[in-house]
Amino acid sequence: MTVYETDVPGVGKKFEVEIGGDERLVVLLHHDGKRELFHKPDPDTDAERLFTLDGRLAREVGAILQGAYFQPVETDNVEVPLGEAIIEWLDVSEGSPLVDRTLAQAGVRQQTGASIIAIQRGSDTLPNPDPEETIAAGDILVTLGTRDEQSAVESLVDDDG
């Protein structure tokens, strides 16, 4: 990540943060504490102002972004005893081809290599579900597999025919 810092005479400082390709987030810090945030999709486009924050609110939002209120797990960098496997939660929509099929009929493990280790149905969790358990719309499938396997499961769950 590259951050460009520029003095803006009579205003304060401008920071431009590369957020992907030529896309940038622009933060203008005024001498009076006001912060303005802009989005600049590419070098040939003017930056569009997103919003303005006062100093107090900017610090609160900054603390949230920094993870002071909730520390997310950066899955690309995490090392767990599962080796290359990760756990994902996938919503089953009304249009999913898995709806009204048993786990055995769905054949998720055979098709993707990932395992369904639990099903969350409303406030109930069915750990280690039986192969004859039927998948319902609104279920959340808890799956265990590598990133590639998880991607294959997601495609299978979302596939609309």
- Is the same domain home to 97 and 126? yes
Strand ranges (E), the chain? 3-8, 12-20, 23-30, 35-40, 48-53, 86-91, 115-121, 124-127, 140-145
Find the largest Cα–Cα distance for the chain.
Answer: 70
Q: What are phi and psi of 89, to 5 degrees?
A: -120, 120
Residues of the chain with pLDDT under 70: 68-83, 159-161
- Is the same domain home to 113 and 152? yes
Tell me what pLDDT residue 161 has.
46
Tell me what pLDDT residue 61 has.
86
- Is the same domain home to 149 and 93? yes
Query: What's the Cα-to-Cα distance from 63 to each of 34, 60, 130, rounded to whole Å?
Result: 17, 5, 44
Supply the pTM of this predicted model: 0.51
Residue range of the domain that includes 120 = 86-158
Tell me what pLDDT residue 114 has.
93
Tell whether 72 is covered by a domain: no
- Is the same domain home to 59 and 119? no
